[in-house]
Structure 1
């Protein structure tokens, strides 16, 4: 039998994935990542005594066009969008735009339980008030309009803003959007989750529901690494603060997006929607939110909206299939007045 020779490896650099999905060596920190991708954290005061944490990617003094991101429940900017916007595929976007990543009040990693502001009797801003807070962000950075990039609850916030401030919304990218009130199944599961979260506990039931909400059944069973990564994200959030965000999302009103015909079918069947900006409506093929995404699509102007069902993806398209998402985003931007954008080849 041939004897194996011992080999000593020298100069091997260990590489691991950091908590937001991209690679760093064993000496790198989140500060290093922020410096590498030019991310700066800022705080924006809003009506009612609330404050928004905004991570600015790029320099807003450069007068570049603006992209706002807004995350879903059970997430924040880091877990929902940081990996996507720090990817190689997004390099062309980072070169041409300044990105403002908005985190809902109290949803930062390791945040302390929120006190109730003395100027506001409500324990948390409702969905319409969360949308109105975007005006304060625009004023803070002297922005007249922006492109919205939202997932889940964040998509709901941007749709409300597009209805109330259409002149400030340039275009929208919506992942797993919903425009209707919560259904009975969603209401039941989240009400039970709220009982535990309000007591300061993120129990297994809450984790399992939010894993399904973000990944869907197929991905949660077949992609154990992504499932465990999300559970790690969730453990960083303050349960009491998460309960407040979930509560207002659960009590959301119907947004009121609608479409009406402006000419007879014989004349080509023109339509008009009260969402006047271009919309890229994205959903994974295995996402639990396909029906809601289709429902929104029927209420948008077909000349201004694109429905994009991403194959081989659950609900977390940003992590499961980022290349297809970025490609669709760039195509939308090129059609909306940014023709020089070209996606980098891997």
Structure 2
């Protein structure tokens, strides 16, 4: 990414995180900052198809991005130790993010996370609510791993001991893209996305390191009962109708404060970042305007020159009092 600077941050939890900063660094205390945390089987680059999409141009002009690589998940990262090594829990990873903000002298951020990264950001926001202006959580889960998920993930994590293998690869593809292989507009286009993702898994992420992160996600604690009381920031939950996590994010939303949360469901895709960046951008920009963090943002336009429309679940539309009539275009 243009003007991207890699910095190693030593966290208060005793482990380092590689962080990538891009955007204006002058007067960063007042400049809007978006903090991204990625899913299992990915790293900070997984957000680039969305952040660099034309629909996000106005956001890029106004905001800086701090992108976190979870420990050992970066491209070509060396293998983490195997003897007497303890990978941090999702709770520890979430609490460690405040060290990232402190390293850049940033007072508060908007969080953008996917999957495991979304869960980590939710924990960060509950631990440090004054440092977070809002969260956009894609395919997030707030519960512990179910019985089937536990055994499926456990088998895959065991197999990763000997390197990336077809079983682990297929599971991670399902985790990211959902069960349906055919795309809405072009089967070939989706197959290219999946093939590119599979090649990246084999070449860029150390399998042993991936196993550590997968097991940390597998052993996550339940935060559902804490959400209504402790998650006090504005939240936009995003899911895809063909995604593998559709039910989990609906479950999470059922525990949340409905005055603080909205649910955006994007139809006919499994991976919203790569398959529906325009719709995700519209929902995200609408959310940013509603929080007041970047209020002057114009809404993105479709290829036909008209503002595109997003579809929010009827019962989960944003609090009308936070938006003007002109801004609400559902």
Offset of 1:49 from its aligned partner? 4.1
Offset of 1:116 from its aligned partner? 6.6
- Asked if 2 retains the 8 angstrom alpha-carbon contact of 1:56 and 1:100, the reply is yes
Matches within 5 A, 1:58-97: 58-63=23-28, 64-78=31-45, 80-97=46-63
Is 1:291 the counterpart of 2:258? The answer is: no
Identify the residue that residue 254 of structure 1 maps to in structure 2.
Answer: 222
Deviations 1:207-235 (A, max 9, x none): 00000000011146842111101102211
Distance 1:187 1:56, change over 3 A: same
Identify the residue that residue 38 of structure 1 maps to in structure 2.
Answer: 3
Identify the residue that residue 205 of structure 1 maps to in structure 2.
Answer: 167
Offset of 1:88 from its aligned partner? 1.4
Deviations 1:2-38 (A, max 9, x none): xxxxxxxxxxxxxxxxxxxxxxxxxxxxxxxx3xx22
Q: Supply the distance in 2 between the matched residues of 1:162 and 1:289 (Cα, whole angstroms).
A: 21
Q: Supply the distance in 1 between the matched residues of 2:176 and 2:127 (Cα, whole angstroms).
A: 28
Unaligned runs of 5+ in 1: 1-33, 260-271
Identify the residue that residue 111 of structure 1 maps to in structure 2.
Answer: 77
Q: Supply the distance in 1 between the matched residues of 2:225 and 2:273 (Cα, whole angstroms).
A: 25
Q: Supply the distance in 2 between the matched residues of 1:278 and 1:148 (Cα, whole angstroms).
A: 10
TM-score normalized with structure 1 length: 0.81
Moved more, 201-210 or 46-55: 46-55
Select which of 195, 199, 224 maps to 1:232. 199
Moved more, 80-89 or 131-140: 80-89
Instruction: Count matched residues.
Output: 293
- Asked if 2 retains the 8 angstrom alpha-carbon contact of 1:219 and 1:286, the reply is no
- Asked if 2 retains the 8 angstrom alpha-carbon contact of 1:257 and 1:275, the reply is no
Larger radius of gyration: 1
Deviations 1:249-301 (A, max 9, x none): 11111014446xxxxxxxxxxxx642111111000011111111001111111
Matches within 5 A, 1:138-149: 138-149=101-112
- Asked if 1 retains the 8 angstrom alpha-carbon contact of 2:160 and 2:211, the reply is yes
TM-score normalized with structure 2 length: 0.84
Identify the residue that residue 237 of structure 2 maps to in structure 1.
Answer: 281
- Asked if 2 retains the 8 angstrom alpha-carbon contact of 1:283 and 1:308, the reply is yes
Distance 1:240 1:280, change over 3 A: same
Offset of 1:197 from its aligned partner? 1.2
SS in 2 for 1:174: strand
CA RMSD of aligned residues (A): 1.8
SS in 1 for 2:222: coil
Unaligned runs of 5+ in 2: 304-330
SS in 2 for 1:47: coil
Identify the residue that residue 323 of structure 1 maps to in structure 2.
Answer: 278
